[in-house]
Amino acid sequence: MNPDSPDIQQLKDGYLLAALSHSEFEDVMAHASVRTLAPGEGVFDQGDLCTHFFFVLAGIVKLGRIAPSGEEKVMDLVRPRHYFAEAAMFLGGRYPVYACALEATRLVALDNAHFLRLLRGNGDLCIRLLSTLSQRMHGLVNEIDNLTLHSGAERLIGYLLEQLPEGAVPASVWLNVPKHVIASRLGIQPETLSRILAKLRAERLIDVHEGMIVLNDVAALRRFS
Partner DNA sequence: CGGCAGTTTGAGCACGATCAAGCACAGTGG
Partner DNA sequence: CCACTGTGCTTGATCGTGCTCAAACTGCCG
Binding to its own copies by residue 111, rule CB under 8 A? no
From residue 148 to residue 187, the character string flagging contacts with DNA as x (rule: CB under 7 A) and all else as - is ---xxx------------------------xxx------x
Rounded to a whole number of angstroms, the minimum distance from the CB of residue 44 to its own copies is 16
- C-beta closer to its own copies: residue 1 or 220: 220
CA–CA separation, 171 vs 165, rounded Å?
A: 8
Candidate list 33, 134, 151, 191; residue touching its own copies; CB under 8 A: 134
In order, the DSSP letters of 72-125 are: EEEEEEE-TT-EESTTGGGTTSB-SSEEEESSSEEEEEEEHHHHHHHHHH-HHH
Candidate list 147, 198, 212, 220; residue touching its own copies; CB under 8 A: 147
Q: Do 190 and 180 touch, CB atoms closer than 8 A?
A: yes
Q: Do 55 and 83 touch, CB atoms closer than 8 A?
A: yes
Rounded to a whole number of angstroms, the minimum distance from the CB of residue 115 to DNA is 35
Question: Which residues, including other chains, have CB under 8 Å from residue 168's CB and lie 6 or more apart?
Answer: none
Q: Is 185 helix (H, G, I), strand (E, B) or coil?
A: helix
Q: Do 8 and 29 touch, CB atoms closer than 8 A?
A: yes
Binding to its own copies by residue 49, rule CB under 8 A? no
Candidate list 49, 67, 202, 219; residue touching its own copies; CB under 8 A: 67
Candidate list 32, 37, 118, 188; residue touching DNA; CB under 7 A: 188
Rounded to a whole number of angstroms, the minimum distance from the CB of residue 129 to its own copies is 6
Binding to DNA by residue 114, rule CB under 7 A? no
Q: Which stretch binds DNA (CB under 7 A): 24-32, 80-88, 147-155, 159-167?
A: 147-155
Binding to its own copies by residue 219, rule CB under 8 A? no
CA–CA separation, 111 vs 60, rounded Å?
A: 21
Question: Which residues, including other chains, have CB under 8 Å from residue 169's CB and lie 6 or more apart?
Answer: none
Q: Is 65 helix (H, G, I), strand (E, B) or coil?
A: strand
Rounded to a whole number of angstroms, the minimum distance from the CB of residue 33 to DNA is 30
Q: Could you give phi then psi for residue 103, rounded to 5 degrees?
A: -145, -175
Binding to DNA by residue 214, rule CB under 7 A? no
* Binding stretches for its own copies (CB under 8 A): 65, 67, 69, 71, 73, 75, 87-91, 96-97, 116, 119-124, 126-127, 129-131, 133-138, 140-141, 143-145, 147-149, 187
